[in-house]
């Protein structure tokens, strides 16, 4: 089945009682039983909800997986993966990653006895060198947030299999439209469904997709036991968002090409981070494992200072200064003070994330208007 057809029909079944084409919002906390333990497959909404189950089926379909699980946020989904580990286990993680993931790892799970080793995963050899008998998980972002580094999912998944180690890929920046890590050998895929899957900046949600039944059952137990589940209204919104993922991503990609090209030729712009450039360090890998290069990018000014960046960040009219990404509207962001503020400054700088870095989530507006807005803001 082609992508467009898959996204529109994933998880969608006409309601058996009315024939409604859209999945109903089952706004209920509990379900009536005819006798103790005798029910229609639903007991309590933290554990089971038909709207959420429809969404979880859709999650599996769009990532070419067998199972999907929905969580209250992307961080909650990430936390569930970490709860598979026990004290003494080690995680090899991308050194360039979302600040919320780093905060969860360093401030929560390190206290639980999990050790995190941060490496530049854009070179698979760095991952191989970091592996030890205690390594139980490799955590990847590709493209990374916010420097757009690319990791070879297939090569790193092979390393994981060699060491009997799980590989989880945060696929938020690419979305299933551009990249399917399970097809490249990953064990688990994570998304902040808040972003491209929802697509309209109106919901907070996360998800996991995978193929292994035993692992799915472990994660489902964690999901229902910790209670980090989304409500049915949120599930309905993400189900609706998935139906237009393909048309939105096509426009994000088209606009991304034009905005990246404009920034690169601007005399006041220093470096543009976008994996669609042929001279991007791992462009060949991106081209191999992605169907396009998306609308996420970052850039610095030639005057790479926080003061110069702040002037641009405060001057846009179409790009809105805000955290998050992946909505239909374009957003501009300052990672050092916003999404990545929880990462110590010296560590950020060492990883290449300067105080003056500006991140863009290029939306689906008219590209000419987006370019004109950047032109007047940069000056």
Cα dihedral sign, 336-341-343-347 = positive
Q: Long-range contacts of range 258-265, CB-CB < 8 Å, 24 or more positions apart?
A: 258/367, 258/370, 258/371, 259/295, 259/297, 259/360, 259/362, 259/367, 259/370, 259/371, 259/374, 260/297, 262/371, 262/374, 262/375, 263/297, 263/299, 263/374
The answer to whether 323 and 99 have CB atoms below 8 angstroms apart is: no
C-alpha 159: how far from chain center: 22
Q: Is 46 a catalytic residue?
A: yes
What are 155's two structure tokens? 């090569």
Catalytic residue among 170, 234, 355, 373: 170
Burial environment of residue 219 by CB neighbours within 10 A (0 to 12, 13 to 18, 19 or more): buried
Q: Is 170 a catalytic residue?
A: yes
User: Residue 266 carries which DSSP code?
Assistant: -
What are 130's two structure tokens? 């970091």
Spatial distance between the Cα atoms of 270 and 338, rounded to a whole number of angstroms: 21
- Beta bridge mates, 30: 44
Nearest to 263 by CA among 146, 362, 142, 337: 362
The answer to whether 157 and 132 have CB atoms below 8 angstroms apart is: no
Q: What are the helix (H) ranges across the chain? A: 3-9, 50-62, 74-82, 99-103, 124-130, 153-162, 175-178, 213-226, 232-242, 245-265, 283-289, 306-313, 345-350, 367-378
Catalytic residue among 26, 98, 196, 273: 98
Exposed e or buried b per residue across 125-144, where buried means at least 16 C-beta atoms within 10 angstroms of its C-beta: ebbbebbeeebbbbbbbbbb
Contacts of 285 (CB under 8 A, 6+ apart): 150, 151, 152
Q: Is 220 a catalytic residue?
A: no
Catalytic residue among 83, 136, 195, 248: 195
The answer to whether 191 and 207 have CB atoms below 8 angstroms apart is: yes
Catalytic residue among 6, 31, 42, 46: 46
What residues act catalytically?
46, 98, 170, 195
């Amino acid at each position: 089945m082609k992508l467009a057809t898959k996204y529109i029909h994933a998880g969608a079944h006409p309601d058996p009682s009315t024939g409604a084409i859209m999945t109903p919002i089952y706004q209920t906390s509990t379900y009536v039983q005819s006798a103790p333990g005798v029910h229609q497959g639903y007991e309590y909404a933290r554990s089971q909800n038909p709207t959420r189950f429809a969404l979880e089926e859709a999650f599996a379909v769009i990532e070419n997986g067998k199972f999907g699980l929905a969580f209250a946020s992307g961080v909650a989904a990430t936390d569930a993966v970490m709860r598979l580990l026990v004290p003494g286990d080690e995680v090899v993680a991308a050194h360039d990653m979302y600040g919320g993931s780093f905060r969860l790892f360093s401030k929560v799970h390190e206290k639980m006895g999990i050790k995190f080793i941060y490496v530049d995963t854009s070179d698979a050899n760095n991952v191989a060198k970091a592996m030890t008998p205690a390594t139980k998980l490799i955590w990847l972002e590709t493209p990374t947030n916010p420097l757009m580094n690319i990791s070879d999912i297939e090569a790193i998944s092979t390393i994981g299999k060699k060491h009997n180690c799980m590989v989880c890929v945060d696929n938020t920046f690419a979305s299933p439209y551009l990249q399917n890590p399970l097809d490249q050998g990953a064990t688990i895929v994570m998304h902040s469904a808040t972003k491209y899957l929802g697509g309209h900046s109106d919901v907070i949600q996360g998800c996991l997709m995978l193929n292994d039944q035993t692992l799915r059952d472990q994660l489902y137990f964690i999901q229902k036991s910790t209670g980090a589940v989304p409500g049915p209204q949120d599930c309905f919104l993400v189900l609706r968002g998935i139906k237009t993922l393909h048309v939105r991503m096509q426009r994000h990609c088209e606009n991304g090409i034009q905005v990246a090209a404009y920034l690169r030729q601007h005399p006041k712009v220093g470096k543009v981070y976008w994996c669609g450039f042929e001279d991007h360090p791992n462009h060949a890998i991106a081209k191999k494992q992605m169907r396009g290069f998306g609308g996420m990018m970052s850039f610095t000014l030639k005057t790479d200072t926080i003061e110069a960046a702040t002037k641009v960040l405060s001057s846009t009219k179409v790009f809105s200064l805000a955290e998050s990404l992946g909505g239909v509207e374009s957003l501009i962001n300052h990672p050092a003070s916003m999404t990545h503020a929880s990462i110590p400054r010296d560590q950020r700088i060492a990883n290449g994330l300067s105080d003056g870095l500006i991140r863009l989530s290029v939306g689906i507006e008219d590209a000419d208007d987006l370019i004109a807005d950047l032109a007047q803001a940069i000056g």
